[in-house]
Structure 1
């Protein structure tokens, strides 16, 4: 008998040990799953930005020497910032009009989007269009040092705006000298009138002073000199007064007058026939005084060229803006910048310089061929591509024409070769981008398989075969990973990005196959009608979510569809749910919330909340507490009380205590969460946000009895997905119900005026993010209350699954081309689709303490009852 008891105890201990070991392994697997999910999302986020916005600039490219015999010793480059071609040609300034007719050539310089100052000046000086890596500097400056005609010149002097001149002096070889006026002068106040002319006046006066210096005297006969005049007056007046205004035209004429003066002084000082002149603009401007997009008024800028080596006729030749860089280089005989993509406009030159132009165009082609070779090497390809072979053959053909004296044939062949070279350059750049995106997509697909099996999977039978197959897969993928990394190390490639993304893709597939071996998906048997509703409804709502990221009104259609799906699944849909859903549809149709407070709308929300408390709250103490909080909040919002120092902060910090004072019954606790967060949300609101929060709460409140929390283990993937689609719709509605894509970067500090008014970026940003998180916390609590106690896999995983499915097509929508608004919108859509579900999963962790904790459980009896009387 005793031995039997010992055996039972041993078996019990062994069973407990196995159970504990199983729980420990399962917990470890969950942590590994969470860690891998975090890594995947971080790599996806960084990878998409890195692939699309990696700089195309290659610094190690060789410099192609320029031929001798240049027509000019120096060039004066005048860039009238923001001068559009339409205004220039409709009301041409007198001196430049005379130059266009009698002394030089002219045309339209076609810019590329984004039509902004920095990329425009980089294109003019370097022949390089927008460097997408500038996004990491907020588009304010070029983060990568680039080669330009200023660097290649013997010496360059530049005068102009403090936003433009330092961009070229920063990475120069000590041969670029620049001066700027104070940044405070760049004032867009429309009341300044002609004071903006001092911006351009300072530039011309600075040049005249420089001519009187000893430096100018020593450079009188020096070749390869560039003098750069950045003229900001037109841009400033265009923003303030619009480009069709009298002040804008007057500033253009003033610039024209000073250019005439500068040309006369230059010719007298350096001698006639030794200087070339270029007048152009970095970008144009719309009728309403903006620029950045691709309208013709923004992309068409004037170009006038005259002086040494230039045709003296009314010849017009339109060119691309990047072609100005090789034009400058050819006029003074300096090498073309190594990353130049422009084509030498050989038609601009006098016929006497035809042979020189042919040789320089050959240098232009060779420089582009070096870029093609460099970009091919970056892709990891070690062998010469057929495009390079054909490019080299064409270069030899051009050399043959020039050697035979057939200069025109060589020039024409050179133009065709440059077109072919630019196509090859574009191919290798796109090839690299597509390759990286494929690696990211493979990693994403592997993660989706792991996540799908995490939601639906159960362990397979035949454990011995499963273990053997799993070991084989682990060894195979480990060897593949090692071989791939060794191959990269042996190749001596400097592109570390390629093996990194490839490694993540291999590891993701490795984990996915391991999950497929160990788990199998299980689906519940359901009627065809319900299955069609679940799958069809999920796909339709995903489309709505995709469209809703761009057009807010699509979310209204989604809410109506959500009601129809619920009615189709269950006829017992509460009437308040239908009416509140219709009310929610109105918010995406309203104008976005602006920073200017609309006090009466906020007070209406407070009155509605007070009515809810009076009608629904049965506890006298909680009713008094909530009414007092609402009254104090209204007094602070209307500024009868100053809440910055303690009142507003007390309301905010006591929110959890107010919520925990409510009973843990689901409906009452959800009501407590709404009322608890309502007051701090109101103090951070500017318009209809409190009303939106109330209606959202009532809608979710009506959903709670419609779905049983103890629905059992029959709740499987299709039902989870449709429920996850509902929550995804609510998640996007939480943000886009009161804002839009532009609101992401337009938060106003005035929203936090009831908490802090002294500028504090970190504190203000934290408060605004807290405001945005409040509706998400409410949706997370609703998700927690609707989850099955028996079915332990939370719906939040299904929400993460749908969010990641939504992010894949958006990943391919991110592009480095277009206006900064287009680029920013594409990035914002991808980040929202990728991060909002993750944020929801994190905020849902707060749902447990908010839904389960109760202050009454922690009540301490200070005077316990005595059981005995002494």
Structure 2
């Protein structure tokens, strides 16, 4: 035992879970640190009680806390940072308590039929075929002769649930709602269906139930097919739409013999909703330019024609039926959706029937796009709307109250009615939106101190009254155009006011989180300096601290809590606003560390300090830019390729340097490739599988010639089984995609093999030897088998190149240690993960360790964006999971796609674990630097978050912050998983136990 530990007077405990750290109780719990010690786990120490008491208080633990406490504190802090963005930017906009508003004049229609062609792009419907014939002849004839048309602009995220909520309820659903439920209403909101007398709906079980369960009373009826019907591998997904059309016709035929149903169908304020999912399913499976997708549009066109003919016959051509056809979202060329590409946000809108305007001929139209000319519709007036505007349009046509939470503006151009009706409808729309504003304002006013409350001045109480009085007067004087103009102004102001009060606390909460961010990063830096470097004097560590700062921070915390209490703030506000108190208290306790560090840095040459600082800033900015431009990763990898030359390391390791440079260049190609999923290429997946098998054969031959030959047949069996899994996965990928291409569905054998491979991939590496290269290679083989099953193109080669670079990175770090004059205890070829590293082997940090940590963060980001498979929501390709399932299951598919993203993370994390142990660093010391780098990136993105500009810009800025925060939390978890995969070994019961070193 080192002398320092013996002097502590406490017993040290050693954990042997692989490469574990020795633990000193005096250092961690009794506040008697040892110079040069590291953070370690412990138990059975009298100081434990004092630590628990300290942790129980709302004040931050001291720098000398243990590893479990520090990890727990770090995870909690980062979860708060992550959750805060949803409270600040994604809190629910819904308010309750408004009075329903309804147009007082009789409506033009008794019933409304809503067709939603899920996943239908505007251009796919409106464009002409190569022979100048329309893709949907009936609907083309409608917009040319009977109705009005335009483009409905959707918002991000372009997914089915938010799209339908915007269409039917008139508001844009927030992200928190999606997190709370997929098929049901997570929050109470009003809709056109709820306000109707009766609503009958047919279609997907993923969409219809949420509007039925959100309705008051029992007047929204649903008819759904089974979830198993939504099969991407089915012979013809258009059957989903055929099912809807057939059941609607059967329903109306049966009503003739059911007097109750017949009477209900003939009442006023009736809605019929046909959700047509086939186009979306075919788009995912075959792409929007496929024959299947276009044929599905033709079938929908025919189905709509049949339904309209049947309804007109059923109702005796009474002219009281209004029809609307639109889509919830579009689709990219590669068959996905979710982001803000025009192909996803531009959806068709065609309306006809009772109360809808006839086609309006024009001589010219001004639009930024060139679609009118492409679609040969230049002479027919195009009337674009926001997706939420469709809800008030439907409500106006059948005379039901506007949905209470609607933020849509009634598109008057679609109405074929009197100017009086239009003015009254717009006035109703304005009062309905103003009601939300008034409720939101009263809520905020009630929870804010009167002397701190700042009202929305453009719409004060007196201004509201003036607007309403003036608009009503205009209507009475039959100045309908003036009334409409005034009402539109009132709606815009009310929407601005809603946004103002919705974001009222945003600056206050954002500053609290920013202050916590800076404090936490400062605190981690102090931990690094105090426990892993020699930059401060040991004598200063034991300085007795004053109780003054403690009382000051306690008083500040009580003031903040009292301030939040009297304002009836949500409990989350207490977390965000009180978090800076314990964090900065911990920082203030270590002022002497800051003072001593400043003195040491002042003694260094200014050029060295400034140069080092600039390199750090440049490196972090490079990482930040990679979130916006994937090609930035290519630049970084090319710089990495020249690193050995710059540092003169190539002189002592020419062969390793050459391999490093080549692999860096190879990996640099991937960020320049198209986003995964856009161009499937199964032959490349097969090439990746065969290449893996070839490398496996050479590697096994190399291992057998090494200093540590296998001591049993079980070791070879594990590798042979993994190679067999690679071969089987390669076959399954080829077989599955050929079967789906021939519309024969997913073979049961392939599905069983895929799930078995996935289940065994995490356990097989634990059966292999714990020698460094053998264990890392075993991890690669197991994960590669699963990754092949989830691949559709060139990305299958990515783990191979990445893993090769990681293995060379480990070797390069060994060369770097020798280059800087540090001795090594063992060769990499005989290094065993399973042997615990003695505490006396650990060294202090030096500047080159910052470079190692930066390499790790850069490789993690490269693993994240290298193939572009999560560069945006819409780049996910459902075809990636077809070896496992083809039936639509959002959570299962999402989990498999997440696994595909995680696999490169695991490879990088395991390599980083090897770098830590082979360079004689405790796992915590190097990871703390990683934490600082990632937190600085997260803070950077926090300041880049914005709530202005296009919805794509807003969504992108928030998603970047969420991604980098998730990465930070994920890297903490990956660190533990990497230790488990590299150090643990499962011993089979019949196996003779022995050490291999």
Q: What does 1:441-590 align with in structure 2 at a 5 Å threshold? A: 441-457=514-530, 458=536, 467-468=545-546, 471-493=547-569, 495-516=570-591, 519-520=594-595, 522=597, 523=600, 526-527=604-605, 530-531=608-609, 534-548=612-626, 554-562=632-640, 564-565=642-643, 567-569=645-647, 574-585=653-664, 586-590=666-670
2 CA distance for matches of 1:138 and 1:646? 28
SS for the counterpart of 2:562 is: helix
Per the TM alignment, residue 127 of structure 1 is displaced from its structure 2 partner at its CA by 1.0
Per the TM alignment, residue 104 of structure 1 is displaced from its structure 2 partner at its CA by 4.7
Tell me which moved more, 85-94 or 66-75.
85-94
Per the TM alignment, residue 176 of structure 1 is displaced from its structure 2 partner at its CA by 1.3
Per the TM alignment, residue 43 of structure 1 is displaced from its structure 2 partner at its CA by 1.4
1 CA distance for matches of 2:517 and 2:876? 26
1 CA distance for matches of 2:139 and 2:881? 45
Greater helix fraction, Structure 1 or Structure 2: 1
* Alignment correspondent of 2:326: 280
CA gap of 1:548–1:450, structure 2 versus 1, over 3 A, is: same
CA gap of 1:648–1:233, structure 2 versus 1, over 3 A, is: closer
> Structure 1 residue aligned with 2:95, among 58, 76, 79?
58
State yes or no: 1:229 paired with 2:274: yes
* Alignment correspondent of 2:765: 652
* Alignment correspondent of 2:854: 725
Per the TM alignment, residue 725 of structure 1 is displaced from its structure 2 partner at its CA by 1.7
State yes or no: 1:319 paired with 2:319: no
CA gap of 1:819–1:595, structure 2 versus 1, over 3 A, is: farther
2 CA distance for matches of 1:132 and 1:94? 38
Does the aligned pair in 2 maintain the 1:544–1:558 contact within 8 Å?
A: yes
CA gap of 1:237–1:579, structure 2 versus 1, over 3 A, is: closer
Per the TM alignment, residue 259 of structure 1 is displaced from its structure 2 partner at its CA by 4.1
Compute the RMSD of aligned alpha carbons.
4.9
Does the aligned pair in 2 maintain the 1:134–1:140 contact within 8 Å?
A: no
Does the aligned pair in 2 maintain the 1:466–1:517 contact within 8 Å?
A: no
Does the aligned pair in 2 maintain the 1:731–1:836 contact within 8 Å?
A: no
2 CA distance for matches of 1:236 and 1:847? 39
2 CA distance for matches of 1:264 and 1:738? 53
Tell me which moved more, 814-823 or 47-56.
814-823
1 CA distance for matches of 2:324 and 2:784? 58
Per the TM alignment, residue 450 of structure 1 is displaced from its structure 2 partner at its CA by 0.8
> Structure 1 residue aligned with 2:199, among 152, 156, 174?
156
> Structure 2 residue aligned with 1:70, among 107, 120, 124?
107
* Alignment correspondent of 1:386: 457
* Alignment correspondent of 1:261: 309
SS for the counterpart of 1:344 is: coil
Deviations 1:797-818 (A, max 9, x none): 1121112112223446678954
Tell me which moved more, 164-173 or 558-567.
558-567
Per the TM alignment, residue 147 of structure 1 is displaced from its structure 2 partner at its CA by 1.0
Tell me which moved more, 689-698 or 120-129.
689-698
CA gap of 1:736–1:248, structure 2 versus 1, over 3 A, is: closer
Per the TM alignment, residue 93 of structure 1 is displaced from its structure 2 partner at its CA by 5.9
* Alignment correspondent of 1:169: 212
SS for the counterpart of 1:334 is: coil
Per the TM alignment, residue 169 of structure 1 is displaced from its structure 2 partner at its CA by 0.7
Deviations 1:555-608 (A, max 9, x none): 453344345455545565522342132133113425789875744311332244
2 CA distance for matches of 1:797 and 1:241? 45
> Structure 2 residue aligned with 1:358, among 407, 419, 423?
423
Does the aligned pair in 2 maintain the 1:276–1:305 contact within 8 Å?
A: yes
* Alignment correspondent of 2:260: 215
SS for the counterpart of 1:63 is: coil
* Alignment correspondent of 2:810: 700
1 CA distance for matches of 2:309 and 2:121? 23
> Structure 2 residue aligned with 1:601, among 677, 691, 714?
691
CA gap of 1:142–1:818, structure 2 versus 1, over 3 A, is: farther
State yes or no: 1:328 paired with 2:394: yes
* Alignment correspondent of 2:42: none
CA gap of 1:750–1:191, structure 2 versus 1, over 3 A, is: closer
State yes or no: 1:180 paired with 2:224: yes
2 CA distance for matches of 1:163 and 1:632? 41
Per the TM alignment, residue 64 of structure 1 is displaced from its structure 2 partner at its CA by 3.3
Deviations 1:129-153 (A, max 9, x none): 2432344268666533321011112
State yes or no: 1:784 paired with 2:921: no
**TM-score when scaled to structure 1?**
0.79
SS for the counterpart of 2:29 is: helix
* Alignment correspondent of 2:14: none
Does the aligned pair in 2 maintain the 1:673–1:778 contact within 8 Å?
A: no
Does the aligned pair in 2 maintain the 1:810–1:829 contact within 8 Å?
A: no
1 CA distance for matches of 2:966 and 2:912? 17
* Alignment correspondent of 2:827: none
1 CA distance for matches of 2:510 and 2:319? 54
SS for the counterpart of 2:30 is: helix
Does the aligned pair in 1 maintain the 2:8–2:27 contact within 8 Å?
A: no
Does the aligned pair in 2 maintain the 1:595–1:750 contact within 8 Å?
A: no
CA gap of 1:760–1:447, structure 2 versus 1, over 3 A, is: closer
1 CA distance for matches of 2:143 and 2:812? 74
Does the aligned pair in 2 maintain the 1:294–1:819 contact within 8 Å?
A: no
Does the aligned pair in 2 maintain the 1:118–1:141 contact within 8 Å?
A: no
Where do 5+ consecutive residues of structure 1 fail to align? 1-12, 663-669, 753-758, 852-857, 861-870
Residue correspondences, number: 816
Does the aligned pair in 2 maintain the 1:466–1:518 contact within 8 Å?
A: no
Per the TM alignment, residue 528 of structure 1 is displaced from its structure 2 partner at its CA by 5.5
State yes or no: 1:438 paired with 2:481: no
CA gap of 1:43–1:521, structure 2 versus 1, over 3 A, is: farther
Q: What does 1:405-420 align with in structure 2 at a 5 Å threshold? A: 405-420=478-493
State yes or no: 1:122 paired with 2:165: yes
Deviations 1:671-712 (A, max 9, x none): 565467566566666465466535522332232243255799
Does the aligned pair in 2 maintain the 1:233–1:251 contact within 8 Å?
A: no
* Alignment correspondent of 1:338: 404
2 CA distance for matches of 1:288 and 1:778? 34
SS for the counterpart of 1:25 is: coil
SS for the counterpart of 1:520 is: helix
2 CA distance for matches of 1:98 and 1:760? 40
The answer to which structure, 1 or 2, has the higher relative contact order (CA under 8 A, 6+ apart) is 2
* Alignment correspondent of 1:773: 906
* Alignment correspondent of 2:349: 303
Where do 5+ consecutive residues of structure 2 fail to align? 1-5, 12-23, 32-38, 40-50, 52-61, 129-133, 362-380, 531-535, 677-681, 730-752, 789-795, 825-840, 886-891, 986-992
2 CA distance for matches of 1:824 and 1:209? 51
Deviations 1:141-178 (A, max 9, x none): 65333210111122222233333322211211122122
Q: What does 1:13-92 align with in structure 2 at a 5 Å threshold? A: 24-26=29-31, 28=51, 29=62, 30-31=65-66, 32-86=69-123, 87-88=125-126, 90=128, 91=134
CA gap of 1:485–1:277, structure 2 versus 1, over 3 A, is: same
1 CA distance for matches of 2:722 and 2:408? 62
* Alignment correspondent of 2:434: 369
SS for the counterpart of 2:93 is: coil
Larger radius of gyration: 1
Does the aligned pair in 1 maintain the 2:881–2:897 contact within 8 Å?
A: no
